[in-house]
Every structure is written in structure tokens, then in C-alpha cells.
A and B are shown apart, each in its own frame.
Chain A
């Protein structure tokens, strides 16, 4: 498997650390109800198809990446820097 880091270019999967769904980016506001935290921390979709998840370019530029990929075809359609993501 290969991922194209927006900074470093196309790299082998072994350079990356997988974290999980991009849900981790949507941190509830301070004081949000517990149910919202529960959702943020524990509840995840498991789609057959397009999904977004987070990868850390641990052996490269140390950037967190948001990867849009298809769990069925394994196609990777977009890789974005978490630090420079749009909304």
C-alpha cells in the first residue's frame, strides 16, 4: 500500500502510523454532554466504500494526514494535511 503525503510525496505504507477515523478531529466543546463525548471517543461507522481516516507520517515529516479512501477498492482519492485542512 502506498500513500501520497502532500509534503513528502508517494511513500510506502511502512512510513505511516494508522490512528483511526477522522472523527477524532471533531472534538466536542468544553462542557459538552457526556453522550457527545461518548460518540466522539467510541462510536464509529464501518463503511464499505469511501471513508476518511487519520495517518501519521511518523517516518517522514511528522504530519498527521487525513486520508480519503475506499475500503472496497482500496483506492485512495485524497490526502490532506490535518494542520491545513479546510474546516
Chain B
């Protein structure tokens, strides 16, 4: 019900929205919760386990009950707190966790079964028979479990992430936060002020009062005006600081577009990483419920929430309101309700010595012991001494005191301190370096306390920053906080602690009784604190009940750990920009467009996109294209873009010495103008990478790495250089991106290459020479990864596309053309050339038959470890070729024919396979125990995943041109 003259909503701007299929009206500035309450909608959800009717409990992000699904054009967001969701024109929301309608939830039968569904029910019940678990129990539980539902489609919404830096981060904009921000801001410090709500001011907006003689609202407005005018202050509304991390890093979630109709490019949320030299936690406190029988009915709310709905939204959630509270602070709501013309049916205060000045029935030394009303509160039972009083009421405002919002102070493993005076946990000072808790978050509950501590924290930061400022602390109320701790009212029925997860005082007592006496065990056994609110409304009360049940004090019982995030953060926001192609950078070749123009499907090779094959008209499978391309290279000439190989330019008088140190073989003796194949080990003796290195000048080398290991090798070279020989005359830099490089291979390769050169050259095998091509300086290498006479022609990258198109066009006039990764792979398998499929990180030089490449004449990285026992010898799996007449697979394992197939009899495995059009058989490379001594033997290849069982012949890995006559032609 709306009351006149109250609230910060804009009554000139009505907003229409829909809840559970029905249209309602609210105002701009309303939350979904306030707008529903204004429309007298009390039932908004069902509880998790018993499907009990639930209404709005709070007015903040801690809300455990009013969780709804918001339905958007491209997504459906579950578990949205109705207390945080602002209404906007066209908002569509629906209740969740129900079967059928909200009023007649079929799952409510669980409530009648509750005697059987106590804590530990699942653990005890679904243990046996074991076979039932996967087929029956799990699907059943899964269907019943969980709260909201998703759309089942990709979330096409826009999400953002951002980084921010500041001197002082102020978390919360109540009196403490505003005072801290004002102090630091006036001093000229770089300030970020984050406020979770859409309006700044915190509890001052709900509680009113005066500050420095001004009404609180006016004071807030004047401070905000000053802060907004300061260029060094950034105000971030709708932003929840969700986590405190090492070295002044904080996570924060901003609701950017959730309060508006979706529109293109407008982010729904932004996840901020904020780095702050100092932080002030002014997050306030959370009011705590009291456990009594049936304290979970719609209409029973937190007293502070009733006050917020009245003063911020002009909404009264009932016609006959009652108040059950154990502090003087909570009385304010009763006085304000009466002033607004609402009937206060009674005030119930458990403190026997409490005052009774309000102009309504006040029962001191009394407790609420029960409630009635099926879908909403209609009355309560109050126990006063031995007497039980029935009171008619449709809204009970309750308060069991306050818990400081200490969560962030515990995010780095800090433990809070129990304060007997406040009957609450308060932050341990210094638990998060650089972060100071102030105001209610630190147990200073009065307005004066908030202003004074906020000011002090602001001053402390200002001084640490070497700045000066003088800001007076304005006068404000300084009411003492005096309460009688009341967690649970004595009684027999079910009294709720955790509303969201349906955990009652009985469950906690049962946990204690069954031996789960540690707070961590109790939590897991009862699921208390494991709902979306993460126990914000129930943790302290639950452990107080546990402490009582186990006969210990609360301090001794301790709390469970608060971990980030403070409120849920959508994965979409945290991973903003990382969906689909955003996951990693895409690297494109200069030939990319030319390849796509020819219809080549592109495949990912690391971050690179490379052509898989180049289909010709009439070809229906990739294999047809691949076979044709292989034959084309073997019989005429093929062109492939190999620019993805890592290229490292190495210069200096000690360059040769450096290469000798990182490669197993010797490069200092390589003549200028020649290329050598090199093998690189890790220090543990396993193969790191291989590639060719060319000597371009006396003190100038060009190393190539595999595509896959380019970054890895660079990091390795940097390490070896900086750790062991920083004083050598050698420097190196990646030139991978500087050169476009094309392989030209086949019997007609020489003719094709020379037709491009201004001055044709006769290069020996493994030679390199500078060339002029199309008016550009390039390089020509005679190297081969196909087994045919092969060249690689390199030009500065800007000319890559032009050269590729020309090379391909001219190759086609010679019966050749482009070839893709599939053909490239077949060509190298036929020739027994290895890639990282073979040098996968577990093989030694010996395993791949290259032990002779480890020079005996010099030290190198990995040499010592490579000679250790176990790194070589017949017991190791060695590289072999495999030949079969039926399809085989990479990943298959090898066995002796006739032997049993299991782990103990495993003889090796297959790393690469292909159909070889050249040999006319299926070929593979793999590793076989003592393989080199077993050439000619038959092995059984088994792949259970693909259902293969094939007899193969063990061969030398080089199937094609074993003597290298073609290479050297």
C-alpha cells in the first residue's frame, strides 16, 4: 500500500511492469519489491526445500526470499533479488522454485513431509541401493534442487569489464562512507565511492534524523553535490564491492543496464577490478531476524526494511503492523508508521526494562512465539510471562539487533572478533592490509559514531598520502546501542534461521546432537548459509544456537569463513569479452583472405587460423582434396603459408656460443649462408622444441621454432640468457610477425621460385641467401618439411598477400597449387618428420632417435639430465613408423598380437596417422617399447574409443625417399 508524501520515488513517472503474468504499476525509483508491496503483493516466492510461501524480508542485497527470474529478450536471469531490481517500463519478472502456480505450488507437499526431510535427509536416505543413485535419485534430486531456471539459450547480452585505480576506495555511502569520501576528496586524494544501491545515502535515506542541524536527506544532497563537483572523486552507484584481494585489489560489480530495457551495446553489468592504496569499508550492518515458530510467513519482515519501504518508497507493507525488537533503535519505525497514519497493533520487546512510551500497546518482557496465515501473515501469538496473547496483524517488523557487514575484512583469511557488548562479530583490525572498517560495519551504530569513524579513516588515508585537510565532523544523534541478545525464542515448532535454505533451529540442534559440533560441519550438514544469501541473515544466529546446543560460548564456537564474492557475480560479467572468439586473440595470416577466397576451411593452430585444404569443384570430402594436394606436391609443386613458425633474430659476437648452449648440437661452426636442424632440450632432459636455424652473417642467426612452441621457446631463451649469460654479447628478438614465409615444395619448386627472383640462385640443400623479389628484399631458404625439393621464400609481411596470390597463380600454370594443413601433415608423416604430436613433453632425444645430436664436445641445457639412467635404453618407448591396410588412429595403444589388452601389456601408443596416397597405405608415427629393434614385427593397434583393432607393421619412421635423394636433388 502506497502512502502519500513519503519516499524518494518519482510519482510523476509511473512505470508498468509484469510479475507472474500480471501487469502492475510502480514509479521510477521503485525496486520490484517495493512496487509489489505497494500493490499489496506479499507472496513472491517459495522456499528451497519445503516450498513454503515466502514474502519480502529485507530491502537490500541480503534478501533470502524474494528471488525472482527476470525475463529479457535474449536471456533469463534467475535468483534476481527483487529488493535490488529496479522497475522499468516493460520489466518482466516471474517467481521461481515452484511447480504449478505460486499460490498452489505442488511441491509444497514437501512441507508436510518435513518430519522426514530434516538435516542430513539426503545423506541418510539416498545411500542405498547403490545402483539407484545414477538412474533414479540423482535425476530426482536435480529436478527438485536449485532455485531459478535459465532460458536454455546463450546469453546474448553485453557484458563489460574494466580496471580502475585510486588512492582511496570508499565502500558504502551512508554517513560513514560519505564522511570518509568527503574528507579524502577535499584533501585532493583520488577517490572512488562505491554504493550498492541506485541512490546514495545508505541508512540516512531510511532513518532520517538531522546532521549538523540539517535534515539528513539535505545533508546527503549537499555532500553529494560537493563530491560530484570534485574532479578527483568518482562516484559509482549500483556498484557492489564483492571481494578484497591481495595488494589493494578489489572486485566490484556494477549493474549498468539491468534497470533499463535492453538496448544494443549497453552492458548489463560491468565487473571492475579496482586497485586502491587505501580502502574504507563503510558497508553498514545487516539486521538479524529472530527465530520463532513459523517466523517465515509473508508479512514478517525486518524492522529496518519496513522503515526503508516507508521512507524511501512511500510503501507500507501492512494495515495493522506489529514490531518485535530488542533495541531502542528499532522503535523509530513504529513512531514513523503511526505518524504516517498506520495502525501499530503492538510493540513486543523482550527486554523487561525497556521503555513503553509509544502511543500504542507495548509489551515489554514479551516474545513472539508463533504466527498464522497460510499465504500471508494474519496474526501472531505473544508470550508475556505465562500468558499467551493473540494479536491480529498483517505485518510484523522484527529485529534481533545488528551484525556489522564485516565480510570484506575476512576475504584474506582474517577472522572476526566477537564483541560481547554488541553481541556481534566485529572486524579484526588490519585483516586486509590497507582496509579500515568504519561506522556500523565496525560496530559504531549511531550516526555520530559513523560520521566520526568515517572522518577518522578518511584523515588516516589523507595523512598516509602526504596530504592535509581540515574537515569538521557535524553533530548527529549518538544513541547508545543497548540490546538483550535474542537469537531464538523458546518453543517447540519449526523456527527458521536460514529462510532461503529452509534451515530451522531444530536442524542445527540435530546437527549438534549427531556430532556435527564444529560450525563448519554444521553448515555442511544442514546447508545453513549455503543459499544465495550465503547466510547473511542467518550465520550468527545459527552459530549462537549451535553454541547453546553444544554448551559453548559464541566466540569459542567461531564463524565459518566469508569468501568472495559478497553478493553473487554473474560469470558473464567476470568473463566479459571472453565468450566465443573473445576467449583468445585470433591471429591471421597475410594469406588469410586469399585462402578463404578459394573456399579453404580454416582450422585453429594455436591462436592462428590456417587453411585446412583447398577444395576443387567435384571434391566431396576433405580426403579427396588432401590426397590431391599430396600428389600435387610429390609430382609438381605446392605452395603453403608457413609464416606461423616462430622466428627469432639472434645477433652478437656470442650468438653462436649462445645457440650451442641452448641447442644440443653445434651452431658456432655453421658456415654463413647455411641452415642446420637443431634440437632443443629442457633442463630436465626432455625435448623442448626443434627447428632450423640459419646463419645470416658472422654474428647473425635466424632461429625458427615450431608454431606451437614459439612463445615457450622465447621465454626459455630469455631465461637462459638472463639467468646464466646476461653478460654475453648476444641479444635477440622475435621477428615472427615481420616476415611472411611460404613453402614451395615439389619437383618443380626450383623452377617456380626462380621465376620470381630478379637474379635466380642455385642454393644447396640447407642453404640460405638474400634475394630480390618483385622490387623487395627477401630471403630464400632451401629447407623441406615435405621430403621433396623444398624452398621457403620470405618477404616483409606487408607483401605477404601479394606474393602468396602470385605464387599460387603461377604454381597452377605448372600443374601445382596451394596445399593446406591436412596435406602438410600427410607429407611430413610420410617423411617421418616430427611435430609436437611426437615431442609432447615426455620424450627424450634418444626416444626420437636423435641421441647422436647431443654433442659430446660441449655443455648444453638438458645434457646432464638427458644422460641419467632411465632416459635412454631399450626399456623406453622409441619412435617408429606404423603401416596398416585398415584405418588407424592417433591415441591408439600398441600390443603384441595375441597378448591380452590391458595396461600392463601396453607396448606403446600412436601419435600421428594419415592415409598416404604416396605409399598407398595407412601410416602412423608412434612410440613402441624398444621400437628400433623391432622393425618388421607386427603389432596390434587397439583404440577402444573408436572401436579399432588393427594389425600394423612396425617400420622405420621415414616411409618416403629414405635416402633423401629428392631433398638434395
Residue-wise, chain A 6-21 has the 8 Å CB interface mask toward B (1 for contact) of 0000001000010100
Structural contact, A24 and B715, CB atoms closer than 8 A: no
Q: Which residues of B contact A50 (CB under 8 A)?
A: none
- Return the contact of B719 from the options A12, A19, A32 (Cβ within 8 A): A19
Given A30-B864, A84-B726, the answer on whether A64 and B245 have CB atoms closer than 8 Å is no
How far is it, in angstroms, between the C-alpha of A31 and the C-alpha of B864 when the chains are bound?
7
- Asked whether B723 lies within 8 Å of A17 as measured between CB atoms, the reply is no
For residue A12, which residues in chain B have a CB less than 8 angstroms away from its CB?
Answer: 163, 249, 273, 275
Specify which of A34, A58, A82 is in contact with B722 (CB 8 Å cutoff). A82
- Cα distance, A82 to B714, chains bound together (Å): 16
Over the window 39-59 of chain A, the binary record of Cβ atoms lying under 8 Å from chain B Cβ atoms (1 yes, 0 no) is 001000000000000001010
CA–CA, A63 to B715, complex, Å?
A: 9
What is the CA–CA distance of A27 and B273 in the complex, to the nearest angstrom?
Answer: 39
Asked if residues A56 and B718 are in contact (CB atoms below 8 Å), the reply is yes
Contact between chains at B246 and A58 (CB < 8 Å): no
Residues of the B chain whose Cβ atoms lie less than 8 Å from the Cβ of A63: 718, 722
Instruction: Check: A87 CB closer than 8 A to any chain B CB.
Output: no
Q: Write the chain A residue with the least CB distance to B717.
A: A62
Residues of B within 8 A of A74 (CB): 246-247, 412
B717 to chain A, nearest CB (A): 10
Question: Residue B715 contacts which of A34, A41, A58, A82 (CB distance < 8 angstroms)?
Answer: A58
**Chain A, Cβ-Cβ closest to B245:** A1
A32 to B701 alpha-carbon distance, docked (Å): 31
- Any A CB within 8 A of the CB of B22: no
Asked if A64 and B718 make an inter-chain contact with CB atoms under 8 angstroms apart, the answer reads yes
B130 within 8 A of partner (CB): no
- Tell me if B949 counts as interface (CB < 8 A to partner A): no
CB distance from B811 to the nearest CB of A (A): 39
A78 within 8 A of B: no
- Chain A residues in 8 Å Cβ range of B249: 1-2, 12
Q: What residues of B have a CB within 8 angstroms of the CB of A27 in the complex?
A: 683, 723-724
Q: Is B859 an interface residue (CB 8 A)?
A: yes
For chain B, residues 244 to 273, give those with C-beta under 8 angstroms from any C-beta of chain A: 245-249, 273
> What are the interface flags for B477-507 relative to A under an 8 Å C-beta threshold, 1 for contact and 0 otherwise?
0000000000000000000000000000000
Do B246 and A25 have beta carbons less than 8 Å apart? no
**In the bound complex, what is the Cα–Cα distance between A62 and B868 (angstroms)?**
32
Output the nearest chain B residue to A42 by Cβ-Cβ distance: B684
Instruction: Please tell me if the beta carbons of B859 and A30 are within 8 angstroms of each other in the complex.
Output: yes
CA distance A24 to B723 in the complex (A): 9
- A residues in contact with B247, CB < 8 Å: 1-2, 74, 76
User: Would you call B423 an interface residue if the criterion is a C-beta within 8 Å of the partner chain's C-beta atoms?
Assistant: no
CA A27 – CA B412 in complex, angstroms?
36
Interface flag for B901 (CB, 8 Å):
no
Q: How far is the CB of A23 from chain B (nearest CB, A)?
A: 11
Supposing A30-B864, A41-B683 touch, asked if A25 and B723 sit within 8 A by C-beta, the answer is: yes
Can you name 25 A-B residue pairings with CB atoms under 8 Å? A1-B246, A2-B248, A2-B249, A2-B275, A12-B273, A19-B719, A24-B723, A25-B723, A27-B723, A27-B724, A28-B864, A30-B859, A32-B864, A34-B864, A41-B865, A56-B715, A56-B718, A56-B719, A76-B247, A82-B719, A83-B721, A83-B722, A83-B723, A83-B726, A84-B726
Instruction: Give the B-binding residues of A (Cβ under 8 A).
Output: 1-2, 12, 17, 19, 24-25, 27-28, 30-32, 34, 37, 41, 56, 58, 62-64, 74, 76, 81-84
Sorted nearest first, the 10 A-B pairs with minimum C-beta distance are A83-B722, A83-B726, A2-B247, A1-B246, A30-B859, A82-B722, A64-B722, A74-B246, A37-B864, A25-B723
